[in-house]
Amino acid sequence: MDVGFIGLGGMGRAITENMLKAGHRVRVWNRSRERAEPLAALGAEIVDTAAHAFAGDAVFSMLADDAAARDIFDAALLEAAPRDLVHVNMATISVACAEALAHQHAARGIHYVAAPVMGRPDVAAAAKLTIIAAGPAEAIDRVQPVFDAIGQKTWRLGSLPQHANIVKLAANFTLASAVETLGEASALLAGHGVAMTDFLDVITSSVFPGPVYSGYGKLIAQRSYEPAQFKARLGLKDVNLTLAAAEACATPLPIGSVVRDSLLDAIAHGEGEYDFAVLGEVAARRAGR
């Protein structure tokens, strides 16, 4: 396929590399061009504007937040885009922003698919992402070959794009809650002289197997927060989006408020660029350890 890609952070670069390896033609754009340049050696075409990437069979985007999405996907860009183009937005954005983008695209004859992903940059590099997709079925069908090149499974959640975004936010909220409790458990264990690694051996071999408890638990046990695979400040962004979505439908999320405050604690201590596992440091600090 002939596709564009907008947004070349750690996730975007890894996804684009796998698109190129699968033989797709990819035009790339990023606000800072130096992030795009390494991809040229792999066969990507670097374009000068986001509008030049917004062409071909489809365009994929992986931007940081709502503000970036609204800034780049403005009326001028959408008016100039080819009709019947498919735009796949892979970012974790708010439900309200997803709804607005879907309406703006539809009004201009552009298919809008929300496809946030589960997985850190190392998972993206291994083409093992879990893709949560929602939007017009025929549009998802058209980009499925690209999804197959970058992920291990695509979960289709119907025709409303915002449904993919709320599922991703709920998943991130669940993950954040798990990391918070791992951090608190680590502080509790330390208070009684028990090694976190011994605890992890027990729970990951029995009731809590899987990458969340083993991966984040190991980082907390080692107090290893750099280099960050998922930064604490981005975790705070996602938790805030989840709380906003909860408020919109009058749903209390008391644990969400606790996790938000823990992440604010980390950021107040200059740890916003550290890995999300820094919640373990926050719990230790609260306990005077």
CA 239, 245, 247, 253 torsion: positive or negative? negative
Q: Helix 254-268 crosses helix 161-191 at what angle (to 10 degrees)?
A: 70
Cis omega (within 30 of 0) for bond into 116: no
Q: Given the structure tokens 């999300």, which residue do they identify?
A: 276
Residue 241's closest CA among 182, 168, 175? 168
**Cβ-contact 61, 90 below 8 angstroms:** yes
Helix (H) or strand (E) holding 37: helix 37-40
CA 93, 97, 103, 106 torsion: positive or negative? negative
**Cα–Cα distance list, 81 to 110, 190, 270 (Å):** 8, 57, 41
Residues labelled catalytic = 168
